Each structure stands twice: as C-alpha cells, then as structure tokens.
Amino acid sequence: MEEVPKTIIPCHIAVIMDGNGRWAAKRHMPRSYGHQQGSKAVERFCEDAYHLGVKYVTVYAFSTENWSRPKEEIDTLMGLLRDFLKECIKKSKKNNMRVRILGDVARLDRDLQFRIAELTEKTKDYDGLQFQVALNYGGRDEILRAVKKTVAAVQNGTLTIDEITPESFQRFFDSTEIPDPDLIIRTSGEQRLSNFLLWQSAYSEFYFTDVLWPDFNKKELEKAIEYYGKRERRFGGV
C-alpha cells in the first residue's frame, strides 16, 4: 500500500463542491446526474477525511444564492439532501458522527426542518467526525442574523455594547463552537469564496483545484492536505 507522507493534518476542512454540472455535461448527462454523483462524493470525502485524521468537515451544499437556479434543479438538490440526511441518521450512529446544519433552515420545507432537528438532536453527543452541512447558507446572511441577535441582546439588557467582542458576537453564529476552517478547498477551477464562511475564513488556507467535485477522491484530498502541510500558518499580522 502506498505510504502517505507524514504531514500536518488540518483539524477542520471546509469544501466548496463545484463542478457537478460540468462533470455531467462532459458525459452528455443531465445536471441532476452530476449532483447525484456529487452527493456520493460527499460520503466518500467524509470517510476519507476522517480516516486521515480530520476532525471537522463542512460542505457547502446549498447557498442562499442557489434559489435562483431553475426549479427543477432546486427540487433535485433538495431531494438529494433529503435522502442524504436520512442516510446520515443511520451512518452517524454507526460512525459516531455528529451532524450540524449551518444556514437559515426556516426557509426549507417542513419535513426537511423536522429531519434536521431530529438529526442534530440524535447526534449531539457523538464525538467522531464533526460534520457540518451548509444548507440555505450565506456568509453575509449568517453575519446579518448574528447582528440582529446581538442588537436584540443589547435591547433586552443581556449584553452591553462594551461586551460586544469577536467572541461574544460569534456566539450568535450558526457555527458557534465549531473551530474556524484551517483549509478551504474549492474544486472545478473557480477561485472565489462565493459567500462561504466569510467571517470564519479570516485565517484559512485555500486550495484550488481544476478537478470537478464528483472526481475529487482520496488522492486529491491527500494532495490538498500535503499542500496545507507546506503552508506556514499565520494568525496575526499578514
């Protein structure tokens, strides 16, 4: 078996899973097929990342901007997410995996909201992989919701203006208690953050690859981790 070179393993990897549509188009298949294969790639990614020693994985599954896609595609994505979350209930027990959702779930269908609440509750004590799915998520939206909660806390007297610090502000984030991502991977050649984890990515390292998401396998993950291992992390100054 091929040896993976010893390297520093990021504690938290966040992924912008891009290129499902192009992957399908290259095969003369509908976009929905690309999303299906993308969904399978998420499962493999979680297993591989965990086996390599990664503790937290966050995937960008549906952004606040994705609602502008054709209805048929939104329905496909929601259907896949429904099935995926259902599977997660079984898998999380077997693998001791905690699942949390980042994003404004209030806009999702009631059954999805129910499934999310159930999954979050049932897995809250599992201490294996800590897996976050960003769903109806936007970094600006998360910051704005945290601002509103901060203002409400000041208005009701539970927080003073002087007590507003990065730490107290972050407590109102969907990602509260989750460490900031050490490494953000974006597939398919695009080099943008696209409203993902805007606050949390302040000191993240970035890895961009031309590989399309459904093709992102363990070898590609190892390459990303190796790249990360060679970076000199800076948390202050430049």
Using rule CB under 6 A, residue 182 touches ligand FPP:
no
The structure tokens listed for 50 are: 């965990």
Closest CA to 18 of 64, 62, 55: 62
Give the residue nearest to ligand FPP (CB).
Answer: 21
- Per-residue contact string for residues 147-176; x = within reach of ligand FPP by CB under 6 A: ------------------------------
Q: How many CB atoms lie within 10 A of CB 179?
A: 12
Q: Which of 12, 20, 112, 204 binds ligand FPP (CB under 6 A)?
A: 20
Q: Which stretch binds ligand FPP (CB under 6 A): 77-85, 140-148, 175-183, 197-205?
A: 77-85
- Beta bridge partners, 16, equal 186
Is 66 designated active site?
yes
Q: Which of 80, 185, 197, 221 binds ligand FPP (CB under 6 A)?
A: 80
Contact 12, 177 (CB under 8 A): no
DSSP-derived secondary structure letter, 135: E
Closest CA to 131 of 46, 37, 218, 224: 46
Q: Which of 32, 33, 35, 57 binds ligand FPP (CB under 6 A)?
A: 35
Secondary structure of residue 40 in the 3-state scheme: helix
Number of residues that bind ligand FPP (CB under 6 A): 20
Q: How many CB atoms lie within 10 A of CB 167?
A: 8
Nearer to ligand FPP, 77 or 224 (CB): 77
Q: Which stretch binds ligand FPP (CB under 6 A): 79-87, 102-110, 153-161, 203-211?
A: 79-87
Q: How many CA atoms lie within 13 A of 125 on its CB side?
A: 1
Enumerate the active-site residues: 18, 66
* Site residues for ligand FPP per CB under 6 A: 17-22, 35, 38-39, 42, 59, 61, 66, 77, 80-81, 84, 133, 188, 213
